[in-house]
Homo-oligomer: A and B are copies of this chain.
Amino acid sequence: MNSTYRNCSELILSEITQSLTSISEEQVMTLVSEIEKAEKVFVVGVGRVLLALQTFVKRLNHLGIPAYYVGQLDEPAITEKDLLIVGSGSGESVVPVAITKVAEKYHPRIVHIGSNMHSTVTSMSVAQVRIPCRTKLGLEDEISSSQPMSSLFEQSLMLLLDTVSLMLVRKNDIHLPDLWKQHANLE
């Protein structure tokens, strides 16, 4: 197989273009609106999905929106005024399912970002954003991918969330250079 950078990067660009294009405008608008209504945003996920969610937590804090991943040192108590974003392709990952079940007791808004929308996490969520990429569970209508494991899902998740950040910046007319003021300066 062709293993040049040019060939492989074009393949990945083509896959993520297909993936991002297939996401519903309406579902993303709902996610943006849930973020704007929330007092605090929590995210939960595992592995590379968690890393993608963490890039979003960092950016939300820059935008002045208090955000935490479940397990973060200064994680506060969740309340009914908060939003929990659950990132799980299959919607059946053990820790996200367990945490979402606990969260239900405190009545936050719950949004599932995943691939399989017939899942335990989906059933506990008030809104969903579907990224139709391969995950551990094979789904019929998924976008096929030549990449290892769930790479395409993770890439799409990171780019979807950065798109949400850009939408928030534009809706609120945020002056980009101002963002550095909230940024850690001990680097």
Contacts and interface: CB of A to CB of B under 8 A. Distances in A.
A186 B103 CA distance: 6
Nearest to A168: B3
Interface residues of A, number: 88
B187 A94 contact: yes
A120 interface: no
A9 B159 contact: yes
A69 to B, nearest CB: 7
Contacts of A146: 166
B71 A74 contact: no
Interface string A39-81: 0001010111001101101110111001111111111111000
Interface in A1-50: 1-6, 8-9, 11-13, 16-17, 20-21, 23, 25, 28-29, 42, 44, 46-48
Interface of A: 1-6, 8-9, 11-13, 16-17, 20-21, 23, 25, 28-29, 42, 44, 46-48, 51-52, 54-55, 57-59, 61-63, 66-78, 93-95, 97-99, 101-103, 106, 136, 146-149, 151, 154-155, 158-160, 162-163, 165-167, 169-171, 173-174, 176, 179-187
Given A4-B25, A8-B170, A9-B23, 9 more contacts: A9-B160, A13-B13, A48-B55, A61-B73, A74-B74, A75-B184, A78-B185, A94-B186, A102-B187
